[in-house]
Structure 1
Amino acid sequence: MSSDTATDRPQPRPRGDFRVFRTIPTRWADNDAYGHINNVVYYAWFDTVVNAHLVERGALDIERSPVIGLVVETQCRYFAPLAFPQTVEAGLRVARLGNSSVRYEIGLFAQGAPLSAAHGHFIHVYVDRASRRPAPLPAPLHAVLSELL
């Protein structure tokens, strides 16, 4: 497994580092003037991969869940370009699960590639929808997140 410590140069990650995958078709509009996917699209994919998984597993109701996840930190490392019309396969795992926070790690792979073209993370702090104060993860959400550890 690769390392992301300050003393080691980051390396692409293998598919085996991730627990579930989602296929993402690229769009013509995702490419930038340099002919590859623009960096802001990677962050949108991170958000989509996490939230789609939570919604599909019944752990998040976007309109009614009593707690919501606020992103407090993000990072992405790039290793190989992705571009339209490629299909991207996004891997997801949970690296750290706390009482009210979770660190998601996402790997973005060209379809069928063994190593990530990019990988990164973001941290959600879960808060009460009304008060916006940190709140413990509800049991169903915690269970779904635990499956990704």
Structure 2
Amino acid sequence: MALHPFIVTTQWPEGRSSVGTLSSEHLETAISIPAEMDGPGIGTNPDEMLLGAAATCYIITFAAMLERAGIKTEKLSMESKGLVDVTNGVFTYKEIIHYPNLLLASSVTEKEEAKAMRLADKAEKSCMISRAVAGNISVSVHPAIRRFS
């Protein structure tokens, strides 16, 4: 088994209301507790980072599956929503919902369009981040797929 390491470095100056940094080979950003959770709301936060990881993993997986299937696309974009429950002051990430919007090339057949819809669901089950959070966070996909006219 070959393991691929991913490495991030974090710095945190002091208490809860501080602003820290997160760095990796291709990313550097400020981090803090979100304003909605009584933090300074500067930079990003773990909740957005988790949602971002799930969203980028899903859209890259979906795009790769479409490419391998030979389904021609014009545009693929997505909005994702993370839902966090707050009960008795305890924050719990409950659900991630992806809303991919796929515009297929005009040459795509109805059969290929139906396959693209199946791949939209399969991509969520194949994504490494979705598999990592399985059993803890519900992840669902609500695709909008149409052909370019």
**What TM bracket, shorter-length normalisation?**
0.3 to 0.5
Q: Which has the higher contact order (CA 8 A, sep 6+)?
A: 1
TM-score, normalised by the number of residues in structure 2: 0.33
Structure 1 or 2: more helix by fraction? 2
TM-score, normalised by the number of residues in structure 1: 0.33
Q: Which has the larger radius of gyration?
A: 2
